[in-house]
Structures are given as structure tokens and as C-alpha cells.
Amino acid sequence: MKTMTEIVVPQLAESLVSATIDKWLKQPGDWIDVYEPVCEIITDKVNAELPSTVAGKLVSILVEKGETVPVGTAICIIETEGSADDAGIGAAESQPIASGEASASQVNEIDLQDAPMRNRFSPAVQQLAVEHAIRLTDVPGTGLGGRITRKDVLAFVAAGGGKGNQTSSGNTAVPAARTVDAAAQVRSSGLHLTETPRFPKIEVEGASGAGRGDSFIDVTPIRNTIARNMRQSVSEIPHAWTMIEVDVTNLVLLRNKLKDDFMKREGINLTYLAFLLKAVVNAIKDVPIMNSMWAVDKIIVKRDINIALAVGTEDSVLTPVIKNADHKNVAGLAKEIEELARKTREGKLTLSDMQGGTFTVNNTGSFGSILSYPIINYPQAAILTFESIVKRPVVINDMIAVRSMANLCLSLDHRILDGVICGRFLQRVKDNLESFNLESKLY
């Protein structure tokens, strides 16, 4: 039997209330497979592709490109063919659970409690299926009721399924999906690797004076969110600023010694940022109030250390998060940095990637900066920038020597933090960075 199924804007996060249709990838009359992207949506945090929850023919588009609609709004209708049970499952999955609403026809067609778990997939599983171009019907499920888990998908890919392993053979040390085109890298010191961001769309309005017109750029949801957060940060948080100078000569020697072997082993670049994050995380362990936020009548000191990385593109600044950074070694942090940088370049960051940050680090040195005054990532207590490594003459034991030096700049919330505490924190970061030597290990 034929069934009409509505595809709706899903509840991706508690804070998400609306989304904008950026581009339709399918048109009426096109056939759509399960999990195949139907359109691209823009939220106030990330851009994402919206996959279809059913297989069928796109009958009609209900929301045009550029329109902003609330979560739970139906944006298109897909005609499916199958048994009443299959149709009921597909229709039920297309509706957001958070809305608490279901049509009478869906209730009559299927009892959700009796639905086989095999046909229910989490957003993370669907995302992996899209990334590796696999059909979930081919993946054996080991979860409750035969449900397919992330581990099942990853095991299926590792066994040779999907596009991720088609170019590899045997147990190679460098996964094909992580191979980095070294020739395309812009710099080797930070997150700004191969990147082709979308440029802001400029519309020329009329002409004035000598025939020259003003240019207008539409404010995107992400840019509007950045503006709102920055205004909130500077208006609510009393910013203070301090800086410390670090001798990273031994760190430069260590990285030069290890980077080639690390590239061969892991297939990714070993950046200075990985060492900095390790130094910062260890310093936060010693000064835990740096990992806190203001809550009017109390200060909340966060137990988990989740480092947010400020990643800039041509039209936005995103802050993907390394969760539980204190549980990772330098190699693990380097892998996380590369993974988040890749997802940022490809526009594949999820809301989960963007949430939960407790302390922000910005690698401003990757574009040549030697001094900066960053704005705190609200509602965190501080943000640290790592500036360019520059060879400078310094005095050591009353003698002049040429050393590789870098500045660390810290903006702090003066309601929570004072100069003494931040001075100790920066000194601890400095000591941690300067303690790296040719015997230091990555793993």
C-alpha cells in the first residue's frame, strides 16, 4: 500500500527551536533512499544535511529555500510503498519524539512498543551510514532487540563495508579516510589546513555618487548567533587580560623529531596545538577554578575538562569541543584536533561536537598573530590564545641566545578569577610547555 510520510525538522538539541532551509538536494518526482539527504538546513549552531527516514518518491516540498520554520514543522512529503507495519514505522520515525504528538492513523497502524528495534536508528548511526555510504540493512545489529549501534557500524566498515575502507587493504596503520594531502596544507602549526569555506553572498544595491554602489551581506543564522553571544559576553562579563612569554625551543625540536614518524603512523599532522592542549589540561587540573562559570549566587566548577577550539573560516567562527581532554595523551589530542578540523572544513560538525565546552583555546598564531585580546566564550570563565612561534634574542645566564619564543594571552572573567590565580595558571602552562624535551612521549 502507498503511504504519505511527512519529513519534519527534528529536535536535534534542547536549545534548538528553529532551522532555515538552505538548499533542497531533491526535487518533486525524485526517488529518495533511506538516510539519503533531502535538503541542507542551517541552525543557529551548525549547518547539516537532513536525511530521509523512509524510502520513496518526493511528492511535494512544503517549505521553500530560505524559509525559517520551527522544530517539528513538516517540510516535505514522501510517498512510500510497503506493508502497513513498515509504513507505520516509517511515519512514526519521521515525527520528533519531543513533540509528544502522533496522528490517529499512525497509532492505528502500529503499536510502537511492539516495533522491532532492528528498524530504529539513532542520529549517530544514521550519520555514520551517510559518511561511509553503507546501507544499514546490511549491518548486523548487536544491540537490544537487534538494534544497530555505532560499534556495529564501525565494525562493519572496518571489515570492508562502506567507502571508507575501499582503498585500503589488510591492517594498514594509516586509515584511508584520514590521509592528509600534505601539499594542500596552508600551515603546519594549527587547525587551518585544507579549507574551502563558502564566501558570504554580497548583493550590490543601486549606485551612488560616482557610480559606486554599497554592498550588503545577508546575516546568516550562525553569524547572528555569533553576534548575540559576543554582545552578551562583553556586556555581562567584566573582561581582564594578561599575557606570558614561553620558551618553546625544546618543543620545536621535539616536534621536528617526531612529526614525520607520526605522519607515517597516524596519517595526520602533529601540530604544536596538541602539545599546548596537554599543557593547558594539566594546568587546569592544578588550578581547577579556571574550568568554571558564573551562576549569579554561586560559581560552578566543572568536573569534566572539555576544551573548545576556536576555528575560524571566512564567514564564521566555530568552537568544536574535545570532550574529556584530560583523559587523552598528546597523540590522542592530535587525532581529535585533526578530526574536528576535518569536520569543520567539510561542514559536518554536529550539535554534539559544539556543546559542553568548559575552557576555550584559540590558535591565533596559525595566521601570524603575536598578540591578541580574545573575547571569552560565554559562559566560560577564560579563553587562552597561542600566538606565533618567533625566534628572538633572549638573555640566559647573562648571555644572549636565539630562542623560539611564543606568547600566551589570557582573557578572564574578573567576577570569578583574579590576577593571582590566573598568574599561577599561566605560569603552570608555561612550565608544562617548557618541560617538553627530546625524551617526551606522545603515547
pLDDT tens digit sequence for 66-123? 888 888 899 999 998 865 444 444 444 444 433 334 433 343 333 334 434 455 566 5
**pLDDT at position 396 over 50:** yes
Q: How does residue 394 score in pLDDT terms, banded at 50, 70 and 90?
A: very high
Residue 2, pLDDT score: 81
Q: What are the tens digits of pLDDT across the range 302-330?
A: 999 999 999 877 677 889 999 999 999 99
Residue 308: its pLDDT value, please?
A: 96
Give the model's pLDDT for residue 212: 65
pLDDT value at position 142? 78
Q: What is the pLDDT of residues 336-361, one digit of tens each?
A: 999 998 888 787 888 889 889 999 99
CATH 3.30.559.10 is right for the domain spanning 222-434? yes
Cβ pair 387, 409 in contact under 8 A: yes
Query: In sequence order, what E strands does 248-341 have?
Result: 292-294, 299-301, 307-309, 311-312, 317-318, 321-322
**Domain 1-115 in this protein, CATH class:** mainly beta
- What would the grid cell of residue 237 be? 562579563
Mean pLDDT estimate for the chain? 80
Active site amino acids = 414, 418
Give dist(CA 396, CA 224) in Å, integer.
49
Q: Which residue has better confidence, 9 or 165?
A: 9
Torsional sign, CA 225, 231, 235, 241: positive
What is residue 285's predicted lDDT score, i.e. its pLDDT?
A: 97
The domain limits of the chain are 1-115, 222-434
Model confidence at 225, pLDDT cuts 50, 70, 90, reads: confident
Region 239-245: mean pLDDT is: 97
The SS3 of residue 427 is helix
In this prediction, residue 19 carries a pLDDT of: 85
Q: Which of 87-91, 116-120, 403-407, 412-416 is the least confident region?
A: 87-91
Confidence of residue 37 (pLDDT cuts 50, 70, 90): confident
Cα dihedral across residues 54, 57, 59, 61: positive or negative = positive
Does 384 have pLDDT greater than 50?
yes
φ, ψ dihedrals at 56, nearest 5°: 170, -165
Q: Which cell is 210 given?
A: 560616482
